[in-house]
Structure 1
Amino acid sequence: MLRIIDARTGVPVDAAPARRGLTRVEAHAPGFDTGALRVLLVTDLLVRALELGGTPVWAVLHGGQEQPELRAGAAALGIRPLEDSREVGRGLGEKQVIHVVEEGGATPDGVRVTVAPVHAASPAPLAGADPVALRLALLTPRRDQPVRLDTDALTEAHDTLVRWRHAVAAWARHPSRPIPDEVRTEMRGAWEDDLDVPGVLRLLARVESDPDLPDGARFETYAYADRLLGLDLTRDLGAPA
């Protein structure tokens, strides 16, 4: 079960306290910049992790005057659409509300997840960047650690994506094999422990180079992890070798 540290108390809480009870995740992003996109990205990860655990989720955006630009930027990063908070009330069967906010931002009562700021070389969030590489660069540090986005960080993320997509396409040509139990357990344990996405990325790096794993198991591991990460790692399936 996914547990999140409530920034108000510093205590881990169940993100879904009631079985099959609705969890509402509210993203608070008053403007349009890379920090706001990181808030929406953490919201997206929370929604994906909860859904993978079988929890119904309702994702809502509290935005400001730049909401159309923010939504367009979020879509480019593969962030699922969020409902407008001005048009919704309390959800039927709602058992938990989680607020995702950049450090220093205010929220109503409820579980609070804070996101560290982004220090970007360019003030324009998507200026010339591969959006999926930007997504990976924002995912690489823990959400409570600031992100420094520069040419080196985006290049490294882009190169990792190219390598992983090429590897996944090659592994897919081999017979499928199940994800080893210990790998699945470690992966789920990472993202259910306060949404430790860097732990998932470190596991994928080990799976990539583990000589004892069959290629079919590598493929299934990456495809499963991508249900959380949203990096389109299977994009190159069927492409010429």
Structure 2
Amino acid sequence: MHAYGLPPAYAQAVLRITDARTGEPVEAAPARRGLTRVEAHASGLDPTSLRVLLVSDLLVRALELGGTPVWSLLSGEHEQAELRAAARALGIRPFEDGGDLGSGLGEAQVLHVAVEGGAGATGGVLVAVAPVESPTTAVPDLSDPGALRLALLSHARDLPVRLDTDALEEARRTLAHWRGSVADWARRPSRPVPDEVRVELRTAWEDDLDVPEVLEVLRRVENWPDLADGARFETYAYADRLLGLELTRDIGSLA
């Protein structure tokens, strides 16, 4: 059980991401309030391409939570319409149309998200994504997009993921449990997110987009003794602004 204490000083939020070209961490938004472009390099509808799109979506969400203006693009040659449709199903923010807008928008940073070892664009920062191993089919199963999203989020982006039946079933169980818990907590009086929990969440996702640690913080909050259920609800709702798992979807559905 994690013991929470007083939160450390928390000043300006700074998202740092590892540049795969140098192996060094860099600021994802080096200019305060400067525009950042996130460009996903994916070609073809397969689980690895969807993971690239999902990492791009997490970057967009994290930057927006830090107050950085962002625009996102999808680059690739094949199945672009299918990729955009799959992205919508997964709750990924819509991609802008047109790749020639940046020159007139005063970009301060460009983040290219691509599968590791693949052909990445020149310039900017390269964010590498490890491949997804899928034993069943090359086309991802989008019948339960929330479970697919959680299964991919549960691993660091630089580690390969095996997307099999067991992984998806575990994600379905976890998601159903969390959504049910959030719906139950929502019936209690609201309480603010504890400062130390907010710090842990922000520290995790600002440290090279460590989403598995964000999920671990939620697990600790669920079992934190003496924490008001209203605070648990607000914590999960706050974290879901990054995770995009629709954790509040079942509010009102429980008797």
* TM-score, scaled relative to structure 1: 0.97
- Amino acid across the alignment from 2:40: A
Deviation at 1:122, TM superposition (A): 2.3
Tell me if the contact between 1:49 and 1:191 (Cα under 8 Å) persists in the aligned partners: yes
Partner of 1:206: 220
Unpaired segments ≥5 residues, structure 1:
none
Secondary structure at the aligned position of 1:100 is classed as: strand
Whether 1:140 aligns to 2:140 is no
Whether 1:231 aligns to 2:248 is no
- How many residues get paired? 241
Q: Deviations over 1:68-114 (max 9, x none)?
A: 11111111111111124445342412100010000111221210000
Tell me if the contact between 1:26 and 1:98 (Cα under 8 Å) persists in the aligned partners: yes
Secondary structure at the aligned position of 1:175 is classed as: coil
Deviation at 1:240, TM superposition (A): 2.5
2:135 to 118, 121, 141: 121
Separation (CA, whole Å) in 1 of partners of 2:86 and 2:159: 22
2:55 to 37, 42, 57: 42
How many percent identity over aligned positions?
Answer: 70
Unpaired segments ≥5 residues, structure 2:
1-13
Separation (CA, whole Å) in 2 of partners of 1:83 and 1:91: 14
Tell me if the contact between 1:39 and 1:101 (Cα under 8 Å) persists in the aligned partners: yes
Once the two structures are overlaid, the 10-residue window that deviates more, 147-156 or 118-127, is 118-127
Separation (CA, whole Å) in 1 of partners of 2:160 and 2:90: 19
- Amino acid across the alignment from 2:123: D
Once the two structures are overlaid, the 10-residue window that deviates more, 115-124 or 183-192, is 115-124
Q: Deviations over 1:175-208 (max 9, x none)?
A: 0111111100000000000000000000001111
Partner of 1:95: 108
* TM-score, scaled relative to structure 2: 0.91
Partner of 1:17: 30
- For the aligned residue pairs, the C-alpha RMSD in angstroms reads 1.2
Tell me if the contact between 1:62 and 1:85 (Cα under 8 Å) persists in the aligned partners: no
Whether 1:79 aligns to 2:88 is no
